[in-house]
Structure 1
Amino acid sequence: MDTYHHEDLRSELLEAGISLVARDGILSCSLRKVAAECKVSHGAPYSHFKNKDELLKAMQEYITELFSESLEKALKEISGSENPLLKLGETYFNFFVDNPNYYNFLFGHANISLDLRNVAPSGTNYKPYEIFKNLVLSILKTNRCAENKQNDIVISLWAYIHGLTSLATMKNVTYDKNWKEKICDFISLYECKELKGIGQ
C-alpha cells in the first residue's frame, strides 16, 4: 500500500482511531486496524506512534486541541457581545454534536484530568474548561457576584451544557426537536441573577 498520497497521515490515523473506538470499542483499536482503515501499510503508523497507548494519548490531545481552538475562535468573535456565554455554550455544544465520535472518545475513553477546585492553578488544568471558566468568572466579577458563589456557578454551568451535549450525542436518546436549533433556548433558561447582573 502506498502512503505517499496521504498529505497528513498522522491526522488521518487519529481520525481513524477515533472512529474505530466509537464503532468497535477501545479494546478493538490497534495500530494495525488504524492502518487498514487508512489503507496504508501496517508499519506506517509506527512512524508517528510507538504503540497503541501513544496513539490513544495523541487522539485525546488532538480532540482537545481542536475543541480549544473552536472555543478560542468563538471568544474572539464574541468580544464585546451582550451575551458571550450563550455563544460559547452554543460553540461547545455544536462542536460535539457535529463530531459525536469526539465526544464519545474524549469523555468515554480518554484520561482527562479536570480540577474543579476554586484554587486550581491557572494554565495547568484541562484547557477547554479553563477557557470556559475564565469567561464565566469575568462575567461574574463584572456583575460583582459574591466570591463564595463564583466557583459553584462555573461548575454548575459547565455541567449543564456538558449534560445537554451528552444527551444530544447519545444514540439511544429520542427527542422530537432539532438539538442545534434548541440549544440557545436551553442555555437561556440558565440565567441566574449573577449572570444577568441583577443586584445580589
Structure 2
Amino acid sequence: MPPTKDRYHHGALREELLRASLQLIDTEGLAAVSLRRVAREAGVSPGAPYHHFPDRAALLAALSTRGYEILREELLAARAADPDPRAVLTGMAEAYVRFAVANPSYFRLMFRPELIRSDKVHEPGDAGDAAFAVLETALADAIRAGVLPAADAETLALAWWALAHGLASLEIDGKLGKRAAEMGTTAKELGNRIITMFAALIDRTGGEPT
C-alpha cells in the first residue's frame, strides 16, 4: 500500500476518513466506527486519522457537523424556492423530512445525546444553531408579512421543529410508512398531508395557542 502522504493530500484524507466513517455507519452501525477501523476502510495507516481527529468523539462530531451543514443547505434552498412566507414554512418542513430520508445515518448521528451534551464538542452544536437560524429567519419573514404573531415566534419555531423532526423520525424508522400503507397512501404523501394540516391549523388560530 502506498504511504498515506502519497495517496492523499491533507484535505482529501480528511474527506476520505469522513466518507469511510459514514459508510461504516450505513452498513454496520455506529458501534463499528473506530479510528483504527476507519483507517483500514480508507486504506491508510492506523495513525493517519490522528492527524485530523484526536479521538473517536472528534471524528463523530465532524461527521455530525457535516450533516447539519447539509441540512442547512436544504432548508436554505426551500426558503428560496417560494416568495410566500407561509408556503416557505411548509416547504422547509418537507425539506427536513426529505433530508432525513435521504441521509438516515447523518440524521441519527446528529442528535446523539453524547454529541449534543458534551462540553468538549462544540462544532455540532454551532452547526445545529446555524441550521435552526434558517427557520428563525423564515419565521421572522412570516411575522413581518403579518402571517404569524410576533409574541409566539419561539413557540411556533419549536412546534415546527417538533413536527418536522417527529415525522422524519417516524419515516426513517418505518413507522410512518406502515401507517400510510394501512391508509392506502405513501409515507411521503401522508407526511405532506400532516404538514399541510399543521399549517392550516396555524392559519385558523392566527398562531395563537388554543
TM-score range normalised by the length of the shorter chain: 0.7 to 0.9
Question: Residues 21 and 145 from structure 1, CA distance in 2 versus in 1: closer, same or farther, beyond 3 angstroms?
Answer: same
Shift of 1:166: 0.6
Provide the TM-score with structure 2 as the length reference: 0.74
Q: For the residues of structure 2 that align with 1:199 and 1:14, how far apart are their CA atoms?
A: 42
Aligned counterpart for 2:60 among listed residues 50, 56, 66: 56
- Structure 1 range deviating more: 131-140 or 170-179: 170-179
Q: Tell me what 2:143 maps to.
A: 140
Q: For the residues of structure 1 that align with 2:67 and 2:207, how far apart are their CA atoms?
A: 40
Q: For the residues of structure 2 that align with 1:26 and 1:109, how far apart are their CA atoms?
A: 13
Structure 2's unaligned 5+ residue stretches are 118-125
Structure having the higher helix fraction is 2
Q: Tell me what 2:21 maps to.
A: 17
Question: Residues 82 and 73 from structure 1, CA distance in 2 versus in 1: closer, same or farther, beyond 3 angstroms?
Answer: same
Aligned counterpart for 2:166 among listed residues 163, 168, 185: 163
What do residues 122-175 of structure 1 show as CA deviations (whole Å, max 9, x unaligned)? x99711111112212321342264433222121111101110001011156651
RMSD: 3.2
Q: For the residues of structure 2 that align with 1:192 and 1:110, how far apart are their CA atoms?
A: 37
Q: Is the contact made by 1:71 and 1:92 (CA closer than 8 Å) also made in structure 2?
A: yes
| 1:184 equivalenced with 2:192 (yes/no) | yes
Q: Which amino acid aligns with 2:145?
A: T
Provide the TM-score with structure 1 as the length reference: 0.77
Shift of 1:33: 0.7
Q: For the residues of structure 1 that align with 2:140 and 2:203, how far apart are their CA atoms?
A: 10
Q: Is the contact made by 1:36 and 1:42 (CA closer than 8 Å) also made in structure 2?
A: yes
Please list, as runs of the form range in 1=range in 2, the aligned pairs for 1:13-92 lying within 5 A after superposition: 13-21=17-25, 24=28, 26-80=30-84, 83-92=87-96
Q: Tell me what 2:130 maps to.
A: 127
Q: Tell me what 1:116 maps to.
A: none
Shift of 1:183: 2.9
For 1:41, what is the secondary structure of its paired residue?
A: coil
Question: Residues 73 and 143 from structure 1, CA distance in 2 versus in 1: closer, same or farther, beyond 3 angstroms?
Answer: same
Percent of aligned positions that are identical: 27
Q: Is the contact made by 1:97 and 1:169 (CA closer than 8 Å) also made in structure 2?
A: yes
Question: Residues 90 and 16 from structure 1, CA distance in 2 versus in 1: closer, same or farther, beyond 3 angstroms?
Answer: same
Shift of 1:57: 1.8
What do residues 68-121 of structure 1 show as CA deviations (whole Å, max 9, x unaligned)? 1221222223345761112111111111101111111111356237xxxxxxxx
Question: Residues 23 and 110 from structure 1, CA distance in 2 versus in 1: closer, same or farther, beyond 3 angstroms?
Answer: farther
Structure 1's unaligned 5+ residue stretches are 114-122
Q: Tell me what 2:122 maps to.
A: none
